[in-house]
Amino acid sequence: QAVDVFDKTVHKTNKWLQEIMSEMGWQDRHKAYLALRATLQTLRDRLTLEEAVQFGAQLPMLVRGFYYEGWTPAKPVEKMHKEEFLQRVRNHFNEEIDAERIVRTVFGIISRRITEGEMEDIKAILPQDLEELWPK
């Protein structure tokens, strides 16, 4: 019975990856994982400590694991604007990618799964050029 929680989080995570693959037109699940992980970790580093934890609490358990992977809680990178955000996402890949399209795709998937209040809190923290990457 306790194993059900693992099956559920694997299922949810696979759904997220399938959505990324579908929206990006990819066949590569690992690439979708990199896109999700890169975007989430870059967002985490831009949020305040409190907001990063509140946001993390809404993620599926498995996704939450790689969201927090390698994290050293610190002050947010307040100067991180759109181009630096996108470059940090690009740095996770060994190939040329459309970082803005990836971020918009992942933000769209996130926005359909977290509470509206949490999404508004996140958008309020971000500079205007990053907030624009979230769906309207």
pLDDT along the chain (136 residues), means of 10: 81 95 96 97 92 94 94 81 95 94 96 90 90 89
pLDDT number for residue 1: 57
For residues 58 and 63, give the distance between their C-alpha atoms in angstroms, rounded to a whole number: 10
Residue 50: Cβ-neighbour burial (10 angstroms; 0-12, 13-18, 19+): exposed
Contact 119, 111 (CB under 8 A): yes
Cα dist from 101 to 43, 59, 61, 66, whole Å: 15, 21, 25, 21
Contact 36, 63 (CB under 8 A): yes
pLDDT number for residue 15: 96
**Residues 6 or more apart whose Cβ sits within 8 Å of residue 40:** 59, 63, 66, 67, 106, 110
**Whole-prediction pTM:** 0.92
pLDDT number for residue 80: 86
For residues 58 and 69, give the distance between their C-alpha atoms in angstroms, rounded to a whole number: 16
For residues 113 and 87, give the distance between their C-alpha atoms in angstroms, rounded to a whole number: 25
**Residue type at 127?**
P
